[in-house]
A = this chain, B = another copy of it.
Amino acid sequence: MSDIEIAQANEANQMKPITEIAATMGLAADDLEQYGKSKAKISFEALNRLKDRPFGKLVLVTSINPTPAGEGKSTVTVGLGDALRQRGQNAIIALREPSLGPVMGMKGGATGGGYAQVVPMEDINLHFTGDMHALTSAVDTLAALIDNHLQQGNALNLDPRRILWKRALDINDRALRNTVIGLGGPLSGVPRETGFDITVASELMAVLCLAEDLADLKIRISRIVVGYTYDKQPVTVADLEVTGAITMLLRDAIKPNLVQTLEHTPAFIHGGPFANIAHGCNSVLATRTALQLGDIAITEAGFGADLGGEKFLDIKTPVLGKTPDSIVIVATARALKYNGGSALNELQTENLDALAKGFANLKRHIQNMQQYGVPVVVALNRFTSDTDAELQFLIEACAKLKVTAVTATVWADGGAGGLDLADAVLASLNEPSHFTPLMAADASAESKIATIVRKIYGGADVAYDAKALQSLKLIADNRWDHLPVCIAKTQYSLSDDAKALGAPTGFTVHVRDVIPKLGAGFLVVMTGNVLTMPGLPKHPAALDMDVDATGKISGLF
């Protein structure tokens, strides 16, 4: 059965009312704003009541660099939550929301798979509770207000050539990357060059995910720099006097969403920045709520530990006020063989040589996470074609790094397939966690970039394009260069070259531009060819989707 078939079989028969799921965490029906019977937002009143609750333990799930072979990080995260529940733990999951762009494109949904899924999977993968749409609406309303400011006399002296704020859609649409707008004469705007990002790449998504509450959201929105004047002075949302309107559009989107896994484990799904082009972590509010209501909160960060993992540790934890007590790195024998040079169509076959070579990728990620002083566990997400010898090799290779590696079969078996992993994670939670930041908070942007390139990516050097140097000067002039850096980089390699698999060394990372995101409170560092608006493939997933006359959806995966 496919993921959607498994999910639908469950949804029809076994999904519990969301009020029951909430009750297991001590939340009353009045604490919820229900969206249908199986989805709910947590009310401001409930969030306020929880404000001073102590935190449980925090488990961060991350992974090796993704490959076309598949790793299954969300699946393992869900399965681990279910397994911990089976072990009698009060475990709560906190994931990101899927983006419609990749759902319609190639990647598909982001609700886990097999018997380790969050449900209702169709709703979560499509419009869910409308958070992405509220963000798109806020991003594009702000853009319209900026262009209207130009149109109506430009009192702020905004330079149309230096507007940073781009429009956004939650769609993979390469044709919108570079556009000219405002054509058609004086009644139809000021012509200028601009473009669209995918919504998850927009600063407002990062702002929503880092905001501690509605008041903080408003402050963050007010300080977003939308562009510069002709004198190169920054112009903010506050200067445009639209902070209130933009915050208002996100009033409901900031509330964490609650759903359940197939095994009825509570799961918060909230916020969805991509980790290659944004900071890659679900919302601070959702993670906090999971930490306040659960004894163990399990959360994931996007893509590999070089992207989402690093950003979780360096960008999110200072805001969250909590560092992980354990880090789980998800890997598969298939993906490591691919990293070691096996072709996609050869991954079914045992190949210990390729596995040994590709292990370098996992090893680097293990050592990277160990630098932060947090206990690490490796989860080997087992595929049917994996051989015992391959898995045994990986377990032993991890042991040499003083790391427990355990196989998990949560796709096929749900929580029951993750009990060994749960036990290993529980053991790791008894080990001491001495979180040590990788860099000083007040280091310069260049110094932070160099630290990440050397200590995480394993590179030798950083090269800056002329545009990046100009931007860095502007950033220094404005005294923003103490901010954390959020590196936009390909997810496929530790380097900025998508084709350099395994654990490359000696490379130089090329920085094209550095963009201040004052609302999010970080600097986005654009490297290599990474794009903030994906494209659709030759055969988009959309071509295989359908809905019948009764509303039953098929082809979503």
Contact = CB atoms under 8 A, between A and B. Distances in A.
B251 A551 contact: yes
A550 interface: yes
A80 interface: no
B175 A147 contact: yes
Contacts of A387: none
Given A187-B174, A546-B248, A140 B169 contact: yes
Interface stretch (A128-136, A306-314, A456-464, A498-506): A128-136
A175 B170 contact: no
Interface stretch (A32-40, A331-339, A373-381): A32-40
B173 A215 contact: no
A93 to B, nearest CB: 24
A141 B247 contact: no
Contacts of A476: none
A542 B175 contact: no
A153 B539 CA distance: 11
A435 interface: no
B244 A173 contact: no
A214 interface: yes
B175 A182 contact: yes
A337 to B, nearest CB: 30
Contact of A553 (B137, B153, B251): B251
Contacts of A341: none
Contacts of A69: none
Interface residues of A, number: 77
Main DSSP-derived SS at the A contact region: mixed
A36 B33 contact: yes
A159 interface: no
Contacts of A213: 549
Contact of A134 (B127, B190, B249): B127
Contacts of A176: 144, 181, 189
B127 A171 contact: no
A252 interface: yes
A184 B248 CA distance: 35
A551 B44 contact: yes
Given A100-B137, A242-B543, A543-B241, A173 B188 contact: no
A369 B150 CA distance: 44
Given A127-B137, A174-B187, 18 more contacts: A33-B37, A34-B34, A100-B141, A126-B251, A133-B134, A133-B136, A148-B540, A174-B188, A175-B181, A178-B182, A179-B183, A188-B535, A214-B550, A215-B549, A218-B547, A245-B542, A248-B546, A251-B553
Q: What 9 A-B pairs are tightest by C-beta distance, nearest first? A: A175-B189, A244-B546, A133-B133, A178-B184, A245-B542, A144-B173, A147-B175, A178-B183, A245-B545
26 contacts: A34-B34, A35-B35, A104-B144, A126-B249, A127-B134, A127-B249, A127-B252, A133-B133, A133-B137, A136-B136, A137-B170, A140-B171, A144-B169, A144-B171, A145-B540, A145-B542, A150-B175, A151-B174, A174-B188, A175-B188, A176-B181, A189-B535, A214-B551, A218-B549, A247-B547, A251-B551
